[in-house]
A and B are shown apart, each in its own frame.
Chain A
Amino acid sequence: TQLLEQSPQFLSIQEGENLTVYCNSSSVFSSLQWYRQEPGEGPVLLVTVVTGGEVKKLKRLTFQFGDARKDSSLHITAAQPGDTGLYLCAGQGGTSYDKVIFGPGTSLSVIP
């Protein structure tokens, strides 16, 4: 069974601070995705990383896929209250075949 772990589980920071959240697995995935979910809504895809070592930037968000394609990180620079939400990593491929397996999420709260 492929499992994804995320840390930290909860994070509360002041506006303007930087933060990093981590996603780890003992299994290899073909791709790894990051989603953001707000209360009462479904997850919304932020980015997909495919190549080991890949780095993608989306405005103030930087995503990195580990060289071995087992882990990933999400770094947010100068966090804003609008960044508040549940950040989910999800793996696809490998032994999970086509289905997308989600981690437990990191709940981020950015305080004005």
Chain B
Amino acid sequence: GAGVSQTPSNKVTEKGKYVELRCDPISGHTALYWYRQSLGQGPEFLIYFQGTGAADDSGLPNDRFFAVRPEGSVSTLKIQRTERGDSAVYLCASSRQVNTEAFFGQGTRLTVV
């Protein structure tokens, strides 16, 4: 595709439910990043992938959060037992390789009620 695509654009879920957020990176980009952005704040790093492997997952807040990229392209961020504090915009970005320009998607706005 022409850019990074994230689906859904909006997700409302009940506290305690499981959610999956999807990221389709730009074709051929080997690096993929997930960030979380709360209102009025800068994006907070969660995890990044180089190919299929998670190169750095130090930003995942706890073990309820998990991300995969099984074929080195599409990535899914998974959140178990959602809490109201998980409400935020989840941003995905991809770059041709690490340390090159990253292109961001429009984000998924997650609301936990």
Q: Please report the C-alpha to C-alpha distance between residue A41 and residue B93 in the assembled complex, in whole angstroms.
A: 12
Binds B, one of A12-20, A75-83, A101-109: A101-109
Residues on the B chain within 8 Å of A104, using CB? 40-42
Q: Report A33-90 residues with CB < 8 Å from chain B CB.
A: 40-45, 48, 88, 90
Nearest B residue to A40 by beta-carbon distance?
B106
Contact A42 B105 (CB under 8 A): yes
Residues on the B chain within 8 Å of A6, using CB? 42
CB within 8 Å for A98 and B101 given contacts A40-B106, A105-B41: no
Interface status of B16 (Cβ within 8 A of chain A):
no
Which listed residue (A31, A41, A102) contacts B43, Cβ 8 A?
A102
Q: Please report the C-alpha to C-alpha distance between residue A6 and residue B98 in the assembled complex, in whole angstroms.
A: 25
Contact B101 A45 (CB under 8 A): yes
CB within 8 Å for A88 and B43 given contacts A42-B91, A44-B104, A98-B56: yes
Q: Please report the C-alpha to C-alpha distance between residue A45 and residue B101 in the assembled complex, in whole angstroms.
A: 8
Interface status of A100 (Cβ within 8 A of chain B):
yes
Q: Please report the C-alpha to C-alpha distance between residue A43 and residue B41 in the assembled complex, in whole angstroms.
A: 12
Number of interface residues of B (CB under 8 A): 25
Which listed residue (A41, A93, A100) contacts B102, Cβ 8 A?
A100
Interface status of B65 (Cβ within 8 A of chain A):
no
Contact B102 A102 (CB under 8 A): no
Which listed residue (B40, B41, B56) contacts A97, Cβ 8 A?
B56
Q: Please report the C-alpha to C-alpha distance between residue A88 and residue B42 in the assembled complex, in whole angstroms.
A: 7
Interface status of B55 (Cβ within 8 A of chain A):
yes
15 contacts between A and B (CB under 8 A): A4-B42, A40-B106, A42-B104, A88-B43, A90-B42, A97-B56, A98-B56, A99-B33, A99-B56, A99-B58, A102-B35, A102-B44, A103-B42, A105-B42, A107-B40
Q: A42-B4, A102-B44 are in contact. List 10 more A-B contacts (CB 8 A).
A: A6-B42, A41-B106, A45-B102, A45-B103, A93-B99, A98-B55, A98-B98, A99-B45, A104-B42, A105-B40
